[in-house]
Structure 1
């Protein structure tokens, strides 16, 4: 159906800058290509890639005060991004977002853990998945089943007692069998990630170019078989976007096959 850029991010046209950032991160988590299941079909991966690119383009418009004002005034946004034939989406995202490296992962983890943002994300994921801890962990960056489950469980129990969230049965009556199965999966994922990291270190890839580093992260994600690492990457993209280069250009060619050439509110669907 026809829609506008605000609808793409699932926010109101009156949304604040913080609300737009939060909506972008949530949707980037959902559609990040590296976050897709290992058994996803090529068509499903292509669909996820297109959705991720679309969300990134919308965020590039609505996160910029001048671009957003022009879009609100005219309903158009192509010219504000300098859309040109011949560029590509990969170049756009490389220039829009800093390379995700190990130092930034650690910095983000230290700032996020036990923060108000983590609590807000936890409660939102809890409500979204009606207390299913398996799915809750998939939504949160930098959390680990083996290290963080007890801590997060206490936060949720206190939130239930305070009336901040409902007492969903999937959480309050989770079976010991399900919890142990989740812990077994987490141990396997941790072992897979450790092996992948050792392989990357042995082959000397850790000091390679930005493009190679991004490929290394994707390899870890695939071998780990979990969504949390991709969640973290999407979160870091949003967090460090303000430090990115200002020369990034996005292609009209990459979007033309999916959307009409003329950019209007209705053309963004």
Structure 2
């Protein structure tokens, strides 16, 4: 098979429906457990054949990354090239539609999309296990973004159980235009050190939306409290979402500040977006 001249990959937002922090490990990472889904809102990465590795960024949030001399996309490209023993040649175009530092894995999704795109562009003979190892070296959230399907994550992100199916529902994503540092959120949480790593819980199963909502009500996001201390507007966003018609659950994703609402239909999610839209807030019904 010949290498492609150009390929495109979608990098969907990663939403932590739940996020439990089990403790801080001796290696400095946190032991986590999280139910993750991917929204039909995200960035888009295009890779063109080229002699050298380069990156151009566009999109609503592209300017926020324009000043970076390096980022996860370029690091992913160089890492895969090194693994393959080849020159890192590709012209990458990133359409940045997701807010930066917003708790929905935009950078991780972009890095995963880069690995997928360059594997196709270069017609690379690299296994899924190799890609997963490369992804983990780039960041804890990158491996789950390689295959954008619902998953139950454990550990620092390396233990991933894909879920066969979830009940149909729609999401409303809302970011108030505030960046929240993940490191600061974990520092505020001050999770205790775990001497022995706990065994991964069994991946949950849900036959109905009611069952999913019930499980989520019992399994929250441990980072929401610390994030609200840093950025109190998060509480305002959650309250606004929760007050919309049809909202089944309102919560923060990841380390914030993006929050989400769960609805039975996309029409309800779009109606909620119209109801709470305000200047400076980013909203996406998906």
| Superposition TM-score, scaled by structure 2 size | 0.24
Larger Cα Rg: Structure 1 or Structure 2?
A: 1
Higher helix share: 1
Q: Which has the higher contact order (CA 8 A, sep 6+)?
A: 1
Higher strand share: 2
| Superposition TM-score, scaled by structure 1 size | 0.25
